[in-house]
A and B are shown apart, each in its own frame.
Chain A
Amino acid sequence: MSAEQLAELSDLFVVAAVLLYVVAMIAFATELAFGRARPGKAVAKADARQPVAVGAGGAPAVSESEPAPAPAGAEPPRFAAQAGRVALVLAWLGWAANFGAIVTRGLSVDRWPWGNMYEFVVAISFAAVSAFLITQIRHNIRFLGGFVMVTAALGLGLASKIFYTAAGPVVPALDSYWIAIHVTAAIIASGLFTLAGVTGVLYLLRGDGLSRLPSREDLERVAHRAIVFSFPLWTFAVIAGALWADRAWGRYWGWDPKEVWSFITWVAYAAYLHAKATAGWKGRASTIVQLVAFGCLLFNLVGVNIFISGLHSYADVD
């Protein structure tokens, strides 16, 4: 296949991925809408179960939260669970199309396919969906499906409508093996941060009462797990970026706007981790910190590319 055909195929794959994500979202939403409501707080299995001291002192152990018992009420209809399964299949298909879009784009331009904003956003959408689907293999987080699908579909849609850049070569500064290391780490971390961000929004939307969403504790746990994985990755991505800057620009850190915002994002997520470990900052407060950090991540991705010019102005958006 010629480079042009591959590039066209890649664009088609993006369209297919958007459609599949949207249909999957509807199926996920159906499951959620007709599924079972859950109370706001995870119900402790037994009240007698007191935290037991560990270590030098008395940090309360995190008690294991069981699926809360179903409140009195109608059993959810059978089609709800079926919709959930269909949704997962559709999501995997969308994922495959998204993957296909990235691979064909890469083949068409004969380089790592994340050299501009369009390619970057397509890759992050893919990473976010991957984070969701891979987690879903072992832990049931299907309730997140609809929201992850919306986010990914919006990401791809924005990428194609606003950031679209025709397949082509990149400027010499980007022609380096560091793009594979630095940008790949940033993409995976951003995908996981997105998962955490979506969960954080749900946390805030969800009241304390009965809801079809899982308990706030569960939501908080999902977000925390995602960030626990992505924070070291982001740290690594920033450091790899510094190493690349050292190769390309003669200094490893120069407070270029992109560097500044990567740093702000990093500090903000570190603040989240500290908030989680600080009495009085757990729950709502730390979730807000997490979302502020996610806002910084998005601004770094979109805002800095569009509004602020710097050495990193590779986004190729006009």
Chain B
Amino acid sequence: MSVQELEKEQEPQHVGLGPVGWLRWAWRTLTSMKTALILLFLLALGSVPGSLVPQRGVDPDKVARLYQQNPTLAEWYDRFQLFEVFTSVWFAAIYLLLFTSLIGCIVPRLLVYARELRRKPPAAPKRLSRLPHTASFDGDLGVEEVARRLRKLRFRVVTGDGWVSAEKGLLRETGNLVFHIALLGILLAIGAGSLYGYRGNVLVVEGDGFANTVAAYDRFIPGSQVSAESLEPFSFTLDKFDVAYQVTGDKRGQALDYEAHLKVNDSPQAPARDYTLKVNDPLEINGTQTYLIGNGYAPVFKVVDGKGQVAFDGPVPCLIEDKGSMTSGCVVKVPDAQPGQLGFLLQFLPTSVPMTDGTYRSAFPGELNPQVQLLGAFTGDLGLRSGEPQSVYTLAEPEVLKKLKPLLMGKDVPKPLAVGQSVDLPDGLGKLEFTGVKQWITLQTAYDPGRLPALLAAAAAVLGIALSLMIRRRRVFVRVGGGRVDVGGLTRTEGSAAGFAEEFAEIVQVLSAGEKNVR
């Protein structure tokens, strides 16, 4: 059935048919090609804000910043779910309507298709000269011979009294249906993945380990059907992390390669094995993938308090402030220090160089001359016991910070410390020692059972659309008799008339000369 015909059938009926009539009208309108077209436009239009407004799932920090900078605007964005466009109600409404429309259009077309599969090509028209492509030549071909030659060209052939009718290209419709059904398949696979899959992020410092449990993640986003026990029970430790940097030329300082050397236990019983995790090459354990997605520095500090006790000793993951030089901001909180809690703000410089104004900067992202610049040391209640969640990257909320007593700040801070150096706090409150440098990596673990189905459906879609667009449906009619052969042909595929002219000429050639003489 042709599109135009489908549409004619789907013209709205007379109104006043009662509820059933209205329902029918609604269904026909929804499944008409014009509605599909409009819904396609809406889908494209609806995606636009998803790229212009920061998305919670992609960049939560940016969303938070917008709330700070422009709360009114952020409120309005939130009202229209613009921070979660792709999971919003209105976006779902568009694509669910589109897919309903798609189903409503696939089903009748499948029926038509099934009928067409079985139906024979129609009889040849009386006057072939009315067809868009025609040719005649003298010859004494019989109907059977014509049919044989056309079958050789993979036409479906019907013969009658003095005529042959042949058809080819049903694969076009096949491809089109496969494509549209595959689109449904992709949607279902994505849906299944989001119900039964999960995603988690975790930061691991060199020397530390990770076990795949919900509690071990810094951020865990499960599908609604995921239970905590279903996580694949693997674990690993990060032995060492290596980065190679470009050292010369314009791109000096650009990362060239990342390698995380892991010791992996595929299950609690399994023996440990070495594994090198790289970008573009996740660690896969039973369908659960672990990806290397970020890295940074974790200088190691030792804090001795006013009573001479070691109150803190360990690596502190620092937040990258400048990607090019890997200058990083660090926060050390020492709630166990006596007599008062201690807090430090520092800056880590992987390759520290002095500037003319007496300050220090990092000149290279690699660890060539690692130093930490103390920015401030404080004592007082850090507010850690309030029960509120705390960020490890900020010392304290502004109101808490105001109540802290600065020990060292501004001009009092010493020059940057090299590994092994320390700074003494005034009033015998203790000292901070910079004892070494480690690195951290961030990992993403993902389990998505919809991956493979989605891939298969996507492959089917590509194949289907290629068939649908490349193949043309064409018919060839032949009438023989009286020493003449008349051939007529037509294609019903949009825009392929020019290409068909050549094919038609070839067919005529085969008919007039026999397939042996062609090609």
- List residues of chain A with CB under 8 Å of any chain B CB: 48-65, 139, 166, 168-169, 171-173, 175-176, 178, 220-221, 224-225, 228-229, 231-232, 235-236, 239, 242-244, 246-257, 260-261, 263-264, 267-268, 270-271, 273-281, 296, 304, 308, 310
Contact = CB atoms under 8 A, between A and B. Distances in A.
A169 B40 contact: no
B215 interface: no
A12 B208 CA distance: 52
B116 A64 contact: no
Contacts of B289: 250
A171 B279 CA distance: 10
Contact of B3 (A59, A244, A250, A255): A59
Given A225-B495, A275-B37, A55 B199 contact: no
Given A171-B255, A172-B278, A235-B461, 16 more contacts: A49-B130, A49-B132, A53-B122, A62-B494, A64-B497, A64-B498, A64-B500, A166-B250, A173-B280, A224-B495, A239-B458, A249-B444, A250-B444, A255-B85, A271-B44, A281-B34
A260 B50 contact: yes
B402 interface: no
Contact of A231 (B33, B256, B280, B469): B469
16 contacts: A48-B130, A52-B125, A55-B1, A56-B112, A56-B119, A59-B5, A63-B132, A228-B470, A231-B465, A235-B462, A235-B465, A247-B280, A250-B293, A255-B57, A267-B43, A308-B52
B251 A274 contact: no
B355 to A, nearest CB: 23
Contacts, number: 211
A235 B182 CA distance: 13
The 7 A-B residue pairs with the shortest CB-CB distance, nearest first, are: A59-B2, A250-B291, A168-B251, A224-B495, A260-B51, A257-B51, A250-B444
A52 B470 CA distance: 22
A37 B495 CA distance: 23
Interface residues of B, number: 82
B450 to A, nearest CB: 9
Contact of A57 (B5, B34, B448, B498): B5
A274 B498 contact: no
Contact of B2 (A58, A239, A275): A58
B491 A61 contact: yes
Contacts of A274: 33, 36-37, 40
B454 interface: yes
A221 B492 contact: no
Contacts of B293: 249-250
B249 interface: yes
B126 to A, nearest CB: 11
B282 interface: yes
Given A48-B130, A56-B2, A56-B115, A228 B455 contact: no
Contacts of A231: 465, 469
Given A48-B130, A277-B33, A232 B466 contact: yes
A251 B446 contact: yes
Given A169-B254, A172-B255, A260-B47, A62 B33 contact: no
B116 A55 contact: yes
Interface in B29-74: 33-34, 36-37, 40-41, 43-44, 47-48, 50-52, 55, 57-58
Nearest to A227: B469
B246 interface: yes
Contacts of A51: 132
Contact of B47 (A48, A264, A273): A264
Nearest to B499: A225
A221 B498 contact: yes
Contacts of B470: 228-229, 232
A172 B294 CA distance: 12
Nearest to B175: A232
Contacts of B491: 61-62
Contact of A252 (B125, B130, B451, B466): B451
A225 B7 CA distance: 24
Contacts of B445: 250
Contacts of B246: 168-169
Contacts of B451: 246, 252
B257 A172 contact: yes
B82 to A, nearest CB: 13
Contacts of B461: 235, 239
Nearest to A307: B52
Contacts of A229: 469-470
B281 interface: yes
Given A56-B2, A274-B40, A168 B254 contact: yes
Contacts of A166: 249-251
B230 interface: no
B430 to A, nearest CB: 41
Contacts of A254: 57-58
A236 B469 CA distance: 14
A101 to B, nearest CB: 19
A88 to B, nearest CB: 20
Given A248-B279, A253-B190, A52 B33 contact: no
Contacts of B458: 239, 242
A65 B497 CA distance: 8
B249 A178 contact: no
